[in-house]
Structure 1
Amino acid sequence: MSQNSNRMPLIDALKAVAALLVLLNHFSSYGPLAEAARQAFPGIFGWFFEYGRMAVQVFLVIAGFLAARGLSSQGQALDVSPLPLIWKRYLRLVVPYLAAIGLAIVAAAIADHWLDDDAIPARATFLQWLAHATLLHGVLGFDALSAGVWYIAIDFQLFALMALLLWSGRTRIVAPALVLLVASASLFWFNRDASWDNWAIYFFGSYGLGAAAWWASDRKQLSAWMGVILTIAIAALIVDFRLRIVLAVAVALLLGFGRRSGLLEQWPNARPLAFLGQISYSIFLVHFPVLLIANGLYARLGLDSTASAMIGLILAWATSIAAATLFYRWIESPEASRRITGALGWLFGNAMIIARRVPVIGTLLPRRT
């Protein structure tokens, strides 16, 4: 997260709303609480179940918008090696992500004693955990240990692909053209084939629209660039209409015009939305373990009324926000993340020193020169 002085209220608001919609989608999808809620209120909970997941498009577009700002603010090629940037992104995502996976494993073990439901992940194996740690669980076909964790792997893939494309471009004109070319390929072909949904190329259309919105908002020919974005998107929708792409286009246009007009840094001035936007990644990570425990308790206590189900969901929602607040402070915030990565680096360094002193292991490790 950036510091408060550099925050963008419009992006915070979009992230807050998107995070809550993803949370409500999962609350409408998993366990007896979700089933009871959908039976009692089929309209609203059915809508969350069917359409809440589309809020992920908001995160994809915003991620592309911010990646363009960080990697190529003027549409220039990346003139440094992308590998350190990719590694930094990996650490930024994985430190809180692995902590949340640990919470999900514990919550699943507890809920499994109280409830027999398909929503509870099976007991984690070491290979499954390792696949999650390397963000390869979807690609390798491992069952997810928590809901929504596929997105973290995709986010990392998208950033890495963006960095590599900008680095490959080498010149100011070619670099953004490569991004738009790959985004167009995604919109016209790959995003229409669900067999690609474990790979960045499936989602790069939305990500590229976000990047294009950043570049368009910083150019004199705003109308021309926005016209290119709209032409590509509309043509892709004519070929195959997808509501998720409509949402992505709308968010990209909102961000582009918002930055150009100054609204991006000024509106909406609402502290609750700013706060929820700041902790949105933590909400995304911790709400599923909370939901598992809530469903387990609901079954354990033998509750089955509509009122008890709704109270359970409301308490789970409030607990998710509270848990995300603490998780952000202790795990995800820049200060906490630096402390954790520093401690891990210290432990790894000392482990290497100790290993070198062990005769058998020391012969296998490289020596300092």
Structure 2
Amino acid sequence: MSTKQPDTKLLSIDILRGIAALAVCFFHLTGSTGLSKNTVALGKYGFLGVEVFFVISGFIIPYSMYKAKYQFSLFGRFLAKRLLRIHPPYLATLLMTILLIYLVRRPYMPSWPSMISHVFYLDQLFHYESISPVFWTLVIEIQFYIFIGLCFFIINNKSTALFVGFIQILLLIFYLNNWGNLFGWIGLFVLGMILFRFKYLQLPKFVFWTLIFQCALLIGYKIGIAESIAGILAVLYINYISIRSNDKAWVKPLLFLGTISYSLYLIHWELGRTVVAIVRHIPVLGGFELFRVLIGVLSSILLAFIGYRLIEKPAIQLSKTIPLKTK
């Protein structure tokens, strides 16, 4: 009996996505209230998982559009498909976060306009503080979906000169932009877009590395050296690492993390940190900070798996009902 072979490129990216989500989770949980500076220092670079997410999106979204032979006439379908994929888990997490704020920190309840703006990813536009520190990246992602849906025809164009000119314009906007919107982070997405163009469309190797180097320098200047290094490492990983089988023992747990990475990213802030705070009261063991963090991470993974099965997986199936491929 023959089975369909998994896409080795997607296996590699799923693993990278899982590692990035785990890094962000560890970063936030080691920074939980009541933990020492030494424990905080252990996870201080975990925030770079967000930068890796942005590079992955810059690569994988154009890749999926390319495979589907996306055309501008499919823009509405494309957005609907992406929203159905990410919105139900986000909405469930938003409601859970608001409920926890009401039960635990009632004086700090967000206003109704703030909550409504969050539902539609408009909180940045109206300058409302993010209800959860993990939500801001979803606003950036939604902006990227709109952007890439409108501009994919340039990325997909046969003209190398047009593509390079487009990248230069994006990097100029990135250099001039000081706002917390997509264009304040576009350099990381551009890394992924350049890599996509190099691997699947015409882009000379010299041009590829020149653009990557230019982009890395600008990210280092605008955002930070660590962020630039994280972006370059993500590019190198996607370009050179290929997982050829999902049957190996060491691959399966990493793929599992990749599968639940979105739910893990959403859930860990409120629920994971709550577990860390509760475990503190366990006799003897609760005094060990790393034990508290470990239980918080494992609990976050478990809760993310439950969230994936109950909410995210049905959302994925629902998004698949919207065909993107052209006949």
The alignment's TM-score, normalised by the length of structure 1, stands at: 0.73
Q: Which runs of 5+ in 2 are unaligned?
A: 322-327
Map 1:229-248 to 2 at 5 A: 229-233=211-215, 235-236=217-218, 242-248=225-231
Structure 2 partner of 1:31: 33
Q: 1:139 is paired with a residue of what secondary structure?
A: coil
1:21 aligns to 2:15 (yes or no): no
Structure 2 partner of 1:92: 85
Q: Which has the larger radius of gyration?
A: 1
Map 1:297-312 to 2 at 5 A: 297=278, 301=281, 307-312=287-292
1:288 aligns to 2:269 (yes or no): yes
Q: Structure 1 stretch 249-258 or stretch 278-287: which is displaced more? A: 249-258
Q: Structure 1 stretch 238-247 or stretch 212-221: which is displaced more? A: 238-247
Q: Which runs of 5+ in 1 are unaligned?
A: 114-120, 343-369
1:46 aligns to 2:41 (yes or no): yes
The Cα of 1:272 is off from its aligned counterpart by 0.3
- Runs of 4+ with deviation above 6 angstroms: 302-306
Structure 1 partner of 2:65: 71
Q: Distance in 2 between matches of 1:18 and 1:61?
A: 11
What letter corresponds to residue 43 of structure 2 in structure 1?
Answer: F
Change (3 A) 1:331 1:340: farther
Change (3 A) 1:268 1:209: farther
The Cα of 1:248 is off from its aligned counterpart by 0.8
The Cα of 1:126 is off from its aligned counterpart by 2.4
What letter corresponds to residue 116 of structure 2 in structure 1?
Answer: L
The Cα of 1:99 is off from its aligned counterpart by 0.5
Q: Percent identity?
A: 19
Map 1:107-256 to 2 at 5 A: 107-112=100-105, 122-167=108-153, 171-173=157-159, 176-177=163-164, 179-190=166-177, 193=178, 196-197=179-180, 199-219=181-201, 223-233=205-215, 235-236=217-218, 242-256=225-239
Change (3 A) 1:162 1:265: farther
Q: Distance in 2 between matches of 1:252 and 1:272?
A: 23
Higher relative contact order (CA 8 A, sep 6+): 2
The Cα of 1:185 is off from its aligned counterpart by 2.3
The Cα of 1:229 is off from its aligned counterpart by 2.5
RMSD of equivalent CA atoms: 3.4
The alignment's TM-score, normalised by the length of structure 2, stands at: 0.81
1:82 aligns to 2:75 (yes or no): yes
Change (3 A) 1:68 1:336: closer
